[in-house]
Amino acid sequence: MQQSYHPQKIERDAQAHWQKTQAARALEDAGKPKYYCLSMFPYPSGKLHMGHVRNYTIGDVISRFHRMRGYNVMQPMGWDAFGLPAENAAMANGVPPAKWTYDNIAYMKKQLQSLGFAIDWERELATCKPDYYRWNQWFFLKLLEKGIVYKKTGTVNWDPIDQTVLANEQVIDGRGWRTGALVEKREIPMYYMRITDYADELLEALDTLPGWPERVRTMQANWIGKSEGVEISFPYDPAIGVDDALKVFTTRADTLMGATYCAVAAEHPLATLAVKNNPELAAFVDECKRGSVMEADIATQEKKGMPTGLHVLHPLTGDKLPVWVANYVLMTYGEGAVMAVPAHDERDFEFANKYGLSYKTVIKSKSSTYEKVAAPWQAAYAEYGLTVDSDDFSGLEFQQAVDAIAIALEKKGLGKKRVQYRLRDWGISRQRYWGTPIPIIHCASCGDVPVPEDQLPVVLPEDCVPDGSGNPLNKRADFLACACPKCGKAARRETDTMDTFVDSSWYFLRFACAGKIQAMVDERVKYWLPVDQYIGGIEHAILHLLYSRFWTKAMRDCGLLKLDEPFANLLTQGMVLNEAFVRVTDSKKRYYWTHELDIQRDEHGGVTAKARDDGQAVNYEGWTTMSKSKNNGVDPQQLIEEFGADTARFFMMFTSPPEQTLQWSNEGVEGSFRFLKRVWSLAWQWHDKLQGLGDSAFDVATLKNEPAVVVLRREVHGVLKQASFDIERKQFNTVASAGMKLLNALQDASAKAGETPSTLMLQALREGLSILTRVLYPVTPHIAHALWGELGFDGDIIDAPWPPHDPNALETDEVELVLQVNGKLRGHLIVPKAADKAQIEALALASEVMQKHSGGQPPKKIIVVPGRLVNIVV
């Protein structure tokens, strides 16, 4: 055994061994309970960042621990390989996205391997490979057949200079990211998936996922956004000359008698009608259409509007209400129109105030004695209360009022109760190159024709280099030209590709069916699914998880699966943070690397910094997410090269519980490294003497004579018991600190044992080291693997079970005796329960109390009352 700890060699050897023995290979085995542990697969952006390291270490700790617990564990890995960054990189370097992507995959795979994750690489997949994405295409066509995929026009961002569609993230402050041109909205035909058909199930089934964080379930529920309300029709004023009605959706039908105007979205047909002969309104409508469609923006932007000059009739009173176009009404929600109740709705209140529209109070507070109403117009009263001033509907509670008004409306044929979802259908068409080609052929005579199954996959050419002027597939005659599957005439292939969320919506199913198969999935999904533990970032709490749940249900309904939910348990890991330093000059921000700064810290946690180059102050921004733009990232590669993978892994697990943020600390990294060195030296110190010792049972009778062994074992098994509890509940930080406690206990005992410890002590040390090694193993598998071998334990640690704690070791508890000197209480003495009179006397004499009160004299007499007290007479 090497005397000192050389992580590079240890890690290389351990990894080579695991590779040779195919240690992480997962095969279906009906004889064992399965455990599918999945970390969200990475986008191959170039190299790993700390967020990846943390995510995959958590997954690896869980995987290795479950294997120790006797599970048949599968931990796969793959690449979310399509997407925009590859196209941007291509534009910057002139390299085809395919080459860039494959190179990145190769490099990142090496990095992952150097971290020693127990990944079954036989299951590796990249979503940009035809044998994967052909099934995106195949399933798309299945859903098209079933009507779950359909085509309609959708709105896109159009860059008028580049003549291309921009993704949302390519629009910066309303302008194209490359050209700076004002972005326009365009209506183009796109494909949609009817996820709204599943809205209710997606919502209800959240209750069947107790293994998900409450926060994520709430986010999903809000995203689905179920509202129970009433759909109300406001008949057109006869002056409009069209016999129709304006439909609105409201969750507050109880306020109907307080509606004073109606407002419609700029895209609403009534707005379109009104702009004829009204150029001013037309200009306003155009302005609104250009604005953001993001809901968050709409909620915060200044409310603006214009009257249409048209009126509708109140469905119950027949009053004439003006219709306005307002920028706070969304075309994509409800009916694209609202009945406005300024007295009780904040948005309507703000709007009415601004434009001098009238309001009428129809709800008063139930709880307060005074009538809390909106007048004199400081704020809307938006709470539930009792209806007032509402004719036949006065004096009612919220639900009573809604019910009564709904019935009255229904009688007139002007309304009914309805459930409304915020969730929209999933638009999957992207006008981009690097994605799954949508398998449709456009024929001049037959229209849109699905690519026949035997012509799948529609292969994406891998040698295109996008130049920013739109989808390069449009210039590829070899891709575009095809024969119409129906009539055989020359036709044109669709060049839109699928949203990359399609790729990640089912990769976890494909992992279960490794190898060449002639189907999307096979019966092995039955064995492996659902995923027992899914681990990833909170940024995927909504879309990715919702799409995956939808996709799974859609596959189920096509008879491909018998599975309702793909992920039984979800862990969302916290972000990795570092300190950031910034200087702002002329409103330009420059972020500094710490190595460019001299940093001073005072005892109150205050931080000041000066740039080394000019000696001028730089502001401390505090802890923020590590990011390229803030120059505060730490490269995992450097960390691994300097300290080894185990140190990186230990630091990550030790510093915070997995769900919390993690603050970077160089001292923490160095401390982790020192700890592993100490573990190694302790093992080195004893490994010779431990050779040849077998597993031993510790029986109470022999232990009686060795209190030091009892103390050591009590500490070791006590810590182990806690660690077993903590690792089960994924509190890995305390598992890592258990490793530290175990080391301290062993070092203590080892120091006291001296050069020639008893056999019993040797056995206790051996046991302690075997427990320490196994407690550390899930977190730092390389050093554990090496020590396991060096210390002569049986077999491979990867197959070793998690150690059970010995309840007897805990039970042989210590007792606390009263310690007297000359009959006076001077303190307490803790002794092993098993200690006899002589041992208790020895412990009493060695105690601090005795040293202090004896004046260096030997005692005249020691009286021991077992279980009670010791009295020293001096």
Sheet architecture: strand order including 481-483: 447-450, 440-443, 490-493, 481-483
Residue 248 CB, nearest distance to ligand ANZ (Å)?
7
Q: Please answer whether residues 690 and 792 qualify as being in contact, where contact means their C-beta atoms are separated by less than 8 angstroms.
A: yes
Q: Which does 486 bind (CB under 5 to 8 A by kind): Zn ion, ligand ANZ, none?
A: Zn ion
Phi-psi region of 635 (alpha: psi -120 to 50; beta: other; left: phi over 0): beta
Q: List the x/- string, 446-465, binding to Zn ion by CB under 5 A.
A: x-------------------
CA atoms within 13 A on the CB side of 523: 1
By C-beta, is 250 or 505 nearer to ligand ANZ?
A: 250
Find the Cα–Cα–Cα–Cα dihedral 746, 750, 751, 755, rounded to 10°.
-170
The residue within the footprint of ligand ANZ, chosen from 14, 275, 323, 339 (CB under 6 A), is 339
SS3 call for 175: strand
By C-beta, is 134 or 252 nearer to ligand ANZ?
A: 252
Nearest by Cα to 822 from 853, 865, 782, 844: 853
The maximal CA–CA distance of the chain, rounded, in angstroms, is 119
By C-beta, is 486 or 687 nearer to Zn ion?
A: 486
Helix (H) or strand (E) holding 789: helix 781-790
Nearest by Cα to 333 from 227, 439, 245: 227
By C-beta, is 395 or 488 nearer to Zn ion?
A: 488
For residue 27, state whether it binds Zn ion (rule: CB under 5 A).
no
For residue 704, state whether it binds Zn ion (rule: CB under 5 A).
no
By C-beta, is 342 or 450 nearer to Zn ion?
A: 450
Distance, in Å, from the CA atom of 619 to the CA atom of 804, rounded to the nearest integer, reads 52
Residue 450 CB, nearest distance to Zn ion (Å)?
12
- Number of helices and strands in the chain (H, E): 28, 37
Contact set for Zn ion, span 418-447 (CB under 5 A): 443, 445-446
Q: List the x/- string, 416-455, binding to ligand ANZ by CB under 6 A.
A: ----x-----------------------------------
The residue within the footprint of ligand ANZ, chosen from 250, 327, 780, 847 (CB under 6 A), is 250
Residue 273 CB, nearest distance to ligand ANZ (Å)?
18
For residue 338, state whether it binds ligand ANZ (rule: CB under 6 A).
yes
By C-beta, is 345 or 646 nearer to ligand ANZ?
A: 345
For residue 227, state whether it binds ligand ANZ (rule: CB under 6 A).
yes
CA 619 vs CA 589, 598, 631: distances in Å = 11, 12, 14
SS3 call for 389: coil
Distance, in Å, from the CA atom of 127 to the CA atom of 191, rounded to the nearest integer, reads 20
For residue 486, state whether it binds Zn ion (rule: CB under 5 A).
yes
Print the SS3 string covering 811-830.
Answer: HCCEEEEEEEECCEEEEEEE
Q: Enter the DSSP assignment of 801.
A: P
Contact set for ligand ANZ, span 369-388 (CB under 6 A): 382
Residue 374 CB, nearest distance to ligand ANZ (Å)?
10
Q: List the x/- string, 187-226, binding to ligand ANZ by CB under 6 A.
A: ----------------------------------------
Phi-psi region of 225 (alpha: psi -120 to 50; beta: other; left: phi over 0): left
Helix (H) or strand (E) holding 691: none
Name the one residue in this structure whose structure tokens are 């096979």: 522
Distance, in Å, from the CA atom of 607 to the CA atom of 597, rounded to the nearest integer, reads 12
For residue 341, state whether it binds ligand ANZ (rule: CB under 6 A).
yes
By C-beta, is 232 or 484 nearer to Zn ion?
A: 484
Residues near ligand ANZ (CB under 6 A), total: 18
By C-beta, is 252 or 540 nearer to ligand ANZ?
A: 252
Q: Which does 252 bind (CB under 5 to 8 A by kind): ligand ANZ, Zn ion, none?
A: ligand ANZ
How many Å from the N-terminal Cα to the C-terminal Cα in the chain?
A: 52
The residue within the footprint of Zn ion, chosen from 487, 846, 863, 865 (CB under 5 A), is 487
Residue 422 CB, nearest distance to ligand ANZ (Å)?
6
For residue 329, state whether it binds ligand ANZ (rule: CB under 6 A).
yes
Per DSSP, the residues of 724-746 read HHHHHTT-HHHHHHHHHHHHHHH
> What percent of the chain is helix, strand and coil (3-state, nearest 5)?
40, 20, 35
Residue 329 CB, nearest distance to ligand ANZ (Å)?
4
Q: Please answer whether residues 433 and 497 qualify as being in contact, where contact means their C-beta atoms are separated by less than 8 angstroms.
A: yes
Residue 145 CB, nearest distance to Zn ion (Å)?
18
Stretch in the footprint of Zn ion (CB under 5 A) among 328-336, 478-486, 612-620, 790-798: 478-486
CA atoms within 13 A on the CB side of 238: 2
Q: Which does 484 bind (CB under 5 to 8 A by kind): ligand ANZ, Zn ion, none?
A: Zn ion
Q: Which does 341 bind (CB under 5 to 8 A by kind): Zn ion, ligand ANZ, none?
A: ligand ANZ
| Binding region for ligand ANZ (CB under 6 A) | 227, 249-252, 255, 329-330, 333-334, 336, 338-339, 341, 344-345, 382, 420
| Binding region for Zn ion (CB under 5 A) | 443, 445-446, 484, 486-487
